[in-house]
Chains A and B, each alone.
Chain A
């Protein structure tokens, strides 16, 4: 059975699109037929992060409006055979989405794909609602920062009350905590909330921790999901995340300060 996974947060700029790109790429690299959908209608960005912006011709709104077939709008990823991208519209706004249209698209995608990853826009308005409504599972992307944790809690409340699963009284959406932009050094100095703090507050199972790193910017600069980067903590953390999601038993890494070697420390670390 195909699974719909929403990547959501409430708060903006916490790493949803970065995560959607690497998570879907990772699922595809592990042999799963995967499609990633940009729900940020009006502010599309996933295409840039995936590096396919110049190949975008049609978008999700064209499909919803029946102007083209779904097949015509899907873009095949340049690196992975199993991966497709459904871009958002840049010229329309979120009201161009509608429940029936999104449901029709998801049902059609379910016939072909194993995983459907939905990159949610920030906020709790209609676009974010559309991205989460049909979800089976949710990655709650959270930064170790008060406003992000509060917004994540808010989103959890909405998932529990307003998702299709909730409305229909089915088994609730499975929630996973993903802490991103984490700085173990500052957390250990108690200048920043720790993963344990966030877990204690949000009370959902932890699926992964993604460290703060300059490699995310390097990856977005070059239009390559960061999971492809060699020798990057962030890439390894995303690979671990994907592994855990599909059932590998992997310990959480990147929560302790890295023990820099003497020379590395002398040269200024990372």
Chain B
């Protein structure tokens, strides 16, 4: 399938150039690595993560690794990104 859609992209001329992919990948991994570097991380992030975890656990059963809190720094603004991986079947506590 990937091959076919790649081919279609290619024929349409919409194939993503590798430099664009490289840049996107770097932006993601570096945001992550910079956040883990300490001086860049605001000190409320771990506490925020804990509290969010507690709130979410009230409604959905998720494990610790399924919640990611990240601060991505841009030139003019920062983005606080919450990423919650829900389990396959949401087992709410109702």
Contact = CB atoms under 8 A, between A and B. Distances in A.
Contact of A197 (B23, B33, B39, B75): B23
Contacts, number: 44
Interface string B14-52: 000111101101110110011001110000000000000
Interface residues of A, number: 20
Interface of B: 17-20, 22-23, 25-27, 29-30, 33-34, 37-39, 75
Contacts of B30: 150, 153, 201
Given A160-B39, A161-B38, A190-B17, 16 more contacts: A145-B22, A146-B26, A150-B30, A153-B30, A153-B33, A153-B34, A157-B34, A157-B39, A161-B39, A187-B19, A189-B17, A190-B19, A190-B20, A191-B17, A200-B23, A201-B23
Contacts of A160: 39
Contacts of B26: 146, 149-150, 201
Interface of A: 145-146, 149-150, 153-154, 157, 160-161, 187, 189-194, 197, 200-201, 203
B22 A203 contact: no
The 6 closest A-B pairs by CB, nearest first: A190-B17, A190-B19, A197-B23, A193-B19, A157-B37, A146-B22
Contacts of A150: 26, 29-30, 33
Q: Is the interface of B mostly helix, strand, loop or mixed?
A: helix
A197 B25 contact: no
Contacts of B20: 190
A215 B35 CA distance: 41
